[in-house]
Structure 1
């Protein structure tokens, strides 16, 4: 008897089904939307013209909650990979898909689709809702203003790639606490520490670290002292590729 061939669409369907049947998916996605929208509304309802935030990019101001939302989505990415190792479900998954690598690519594809859609929708909703309260201030803006749509899309792409890096960390470390520690320590805290060093080349390098590069993508006007959008996007893509390459190599060399 020949073994039925496992097709890509079957693996994608399986990963899609697993993602949506876990309660943590709904919890983290709803938390992300609530955080971004909630902080945006807080900024909109409390903002006054000429205050301390008058020089802040409008898109950045309305999407301040993105930093919290990105952490929430990173947790989801880690749970999607490391969580499957923690429960032991990964053994059944690899029994069904012996080649293994298609599982990682399917997880990444499904996760990227969901996170990008959620992030972009949330960014648009938050911007439009917050602008209802900013319409009579110096932060009033619309989707048709120069750079606004690009910044909203860039924000969503940046958050998605950050979450994809977290997914890769979870797949590589195979431990939820370990991957969370690596993400928080390596992605969020380490660049802040390195940024205090008095070396120009270190400062330039820090601008291309994941969190800083993601932030650079979400501005309607380029902020001096940050990476240009093009180089920031390239840096994030390389970070995400590296984060997925490591677990891919591990899957080829380890027994499980």
Structure 2
């Protein structure tokens, strides 16, 4: 009489204490989740296209503005507030897509985590990784890396696409411009930190709609409202809003009394780290 024994548990399987799951496998799992959902891939591609398209549009707008200024009378120039530095404006082409790119990436980050709560898939995730924190960190790392690549690539492509347009008005420039390469790379850093903020808010609110609205309010609505109120303390505080600080991170010229690139980057990173830590603590303590 023969007997058959049950196969030994795979060393890859999750154990009750989560010891059978390592961070590399979590990252691979999250990468598969992101890259195999068509809507997510489409949104990432759309973000890239929108940012490059805005860069081309901004370059065209700079050329048109230069032509208008060349034909303007002294009276009209006075009404416009004097001559603008068109070359400095041309240098903003690579990062001009950030105004909408940050909203798209933040919304994507919110959707990726909040949809798991709304569909109940988060339970499977937490069963596979019972310690919870590695699972959330893995998702955050993947979306942040994707956001970084999208930001840096879109800024570089915007530079390439914008040069023929700018050259038509003798406004073209090379990557040797002081701080240009850093600004292009930090476009990716900006979006990566925004993705962390979106993931944290999506985790805290567990709602796609609520997370997206809150993120848009933080990144866009609050800066707009702060610019409307011409009050000194409001202006001082608004410098530390995430998107305002992020804009300084990619800036080539720093206005008086404004945050410099390092300060802007540290403020944005502080927002991301604080919100993520809160999200990790809440995820660890409350029920799925």
Question: Scaled by the length of structure 1, what TM-score is found?
Answer: 0.92
Q: How many residues align?
A: 256
Deviation of 1:196 (Å): 3.8
Q: Does 1:219 align with 2:251?
A: yes
Aligned to 1:128: 160
Distance 1:231 1:159 in 2: 17
Checking the alignment, whether the CA contact within 8 Å between 2:204 and 2:279 is kept in structure 1 is: yes
**Residue equivalent to 2:209:** 177
CA–CA distance in 2 between the matches of 1:151 and 1:50?
A: 27
In 2: Cα distance, 1:233 partner to 1:100 partner: 29
> Which stretch of structure 1 is more off in the superposition, 54-63 or 213-222?
54-63
Structure 1 pair 88–64 and aligned structure 2 pair: CA distance change class (3 A): same
- Show the 5 A alignment for 1:129-208: 129-137=161-169, 139-208=171-240
Aligned to 1:118: 150
Deviation of the 1:180 alpha carbon:
0.9
State TM-score, norm by structure 2. 0.82
User: Which residue number corresponds to residue 39 of structure 1?
Assistant: 54
Alpha-carbon distance in structure 2 between the residues aligned to 1:214 and 1:188:
12
Give structure 2 stretches of 5+ with no counterpart: 1-7, 10-14, 70-83
Structure 1 residues without counterparts, runs of 5 or longer: none
Task: State which structure, 1 or 2, has the greater radius of gyration over its C-alpha atoms.
Answer: 2
Is 1:255–2:270 an aligned residue pair? no
Question: Quick check: 1:85 aligned with 2:98?
Answer: no
Alignment match, 1:8: 23
Could you say which residue in structure 2 is the equivalent of 1:29?
44
